[in-house]
Chains A and B, each alone.
Chain A
């Protein structure tokens, strides 16, 4: 099975900082990658699909890039409401594996 590895596992940044999270697939998954945000105690929310397409209603400070095995989620200017754990998920073939998550906190 294809493994999804996120880095870092956690990060702390200041409001207004540019934040980048990386997701690496153990095999080529083309652009079959989604990103989710899960705020504490809440349900996961879809942010990005097809590696770089922003889901409707998601603020434009979120962006995704990458193809093949290496992907990134970028928050261009971190806001207090962005405190959450972020997960990548591959969806080219079964199983539909998630990364282990990256916890984002405010410094």
Chain B
């Protein structure tokens, strides 16, 4: 059974940093691209960042480029999102999402974690 468990969210002041983690199980982690998708309170889904199965290729939404860094440790079956220079508009539930296709780049997502809440406020 595929499981994705996020952790690392919390309350942080504007300009601060947080690192989210997503521990994966139930599939061959290194074979699949992974993404982070966020959802602000009461709002829609926003793709944030994606990474290839090997970790060699990374992709970012313009809204987070230069502030967020996605990475993965395939030996630990874990996906990360380092978030720096956080802003109020980054407040959201951050989902870890598994790609449905074995491939190099993200596509569509067949499994989602329960999410980790990030609140940016003074």
A interface majority secondary structure: loop
| A44 contacts the other chain (CB 8 A) | yes
Interface residues of A, count at CB 8 A = 23
| B106 contacts the other chain (CB 8 A) | yes
The contact string, 1 if C-beta is below 8 Å from chain A, for chain B 35-70, is 101000000111100100000000111100000000
Q: Considering only CB atoms, which chain A residue lies closest to B65 in the complex?
A: A95
Interface residues of B, count at CB 8 A = 23
The reply to whether A46 and B45 form a contact with Cβ atoms under 8 Å apart is no
The reply to whether B110 and A55 form a contact with Cβ atoms under 8 Å apart is yes
> Using Cβ atoms and an 8 Å threshold, which residues of chain B touch A71?
none
| B107 contacts the other chain (CB 8 A) | yes
Q: Considering only CB atoms, which chain A residue lies closest to B44 in the complex?
A: A101
| B88 contacts the other chain (CB 8 A) | no
The reply to whether B106 and A96 form a contact with Cβ atoms under 8 Å apart is yes
The answer for the CA separation of A94 and B50 in the assembled complex, in Å, is: 9
Pick from B15-23, B24-32, B73-81, B112-120 the stretch touching chain A.
B112-120
